Amino acid sequence: ELKVEQNPLFLSMQEGKNYTIYCNYSTTSDRLYWYRQDPGKSLESLFVLLSNGAVKQEGRLMASLDTKARLSTLHITAAVHDLSATYFCAVYLKGAQKLVFGQGTRLTINP
Amino acid sequence: DAGVIQSPRHEVTEMGQEVTLRCKPISGHDYLFWYRQTMMRGLELLIYFNNNVPIDDSGMPEDRFSAKMPNASFSTLKIQPSEPRDSAVYFCASSFHRGETEAFFGQGTRLTVV
């Protein structure tokens, strides 16, 4: 059974700082997705990572995938308040054709 | 396209009543998913369809839950009878070529069973 674990689960940080959210998964997969969810809202797709070594960047967010280590990271550079949200990683389990989500990381950025 | 459309946005019902949640996927998408989100269990995949055919319903919690997709533009998730522990946000999502592209989520239905 595929397990997807994010850490930290809660993160409070100051504006302007850098930080990284980690997503570890237990079974081989070469497809990983990052989503953002604002309180009371739906999930918004941020990044699609489809191969080992894939790196995607959008604004202050950068995501990477290491399939050998079964690890993806979401790096936040010079955080701003607007990035406060819950971030989910989701791993695609090819055999079962399932997308399994991590627990989510609730990010709060303080002025 | 307006995205994935779910209705209702909020539903409050009494225990024992039947509840039907509705979803219209993005036109052209051939996969449709139903997820449930709770604080305790996070995001759980309940069932998914490919070309209107249910492929995996192993996440459906029990026989009180059923889902249908009569055509490419409409799906329902039904709970009968509903129980307080069914209270959650239910999301519908759709995608094209599952795994090849990301799934796009609807706004969700917040269900409260009292």
- Residue-wise pLDDT tens digits, A35-62: 999 998 999 999 999 888 889 999 999 9
**Among B99, B101, B108, beta carbon nearest to A97:** B99
φ, ψ dihedrals at B84, nearest 5°? -55, -35
d(CA A87, CA A75): 11
Quick check: A2 and A100 in contact, CB under 8 A? yes
Give yes or no for residue A28 having a pLDDT over 90: no
What residues 12-71 of chain A have any CB closer than 8 A to a CB of chain B? 31, 33, 35, 41-45, 48
Give yes or no for residue A66 having a pLDDT over 70: yes
CB atoms within 10 A of CB B9: 10
Per-residue pLDDT of chain B (114 residues; tens, 9 = 90+): 679 999 999 999 999 999 999 999 999 999 999 999 999 999 999 999 999 999 999 999 889 999 999 999 999 999 999 999 999 999 999 998 765 678 899 999 999 999
The residue type found at A75 is H
d(CA A82, CA A110): 10
Question: A86 to chain B nearest CA, in Å?
Answer: 12
Q: Where are the beta strands (DSSP E) in chain B?
A: 5-7, 10-13, 19-24, 31-38, 42-50, 53-56, 65-71, 74-79, 88-95, 104-105, 109-113
d(CA A91, CA A53): 15
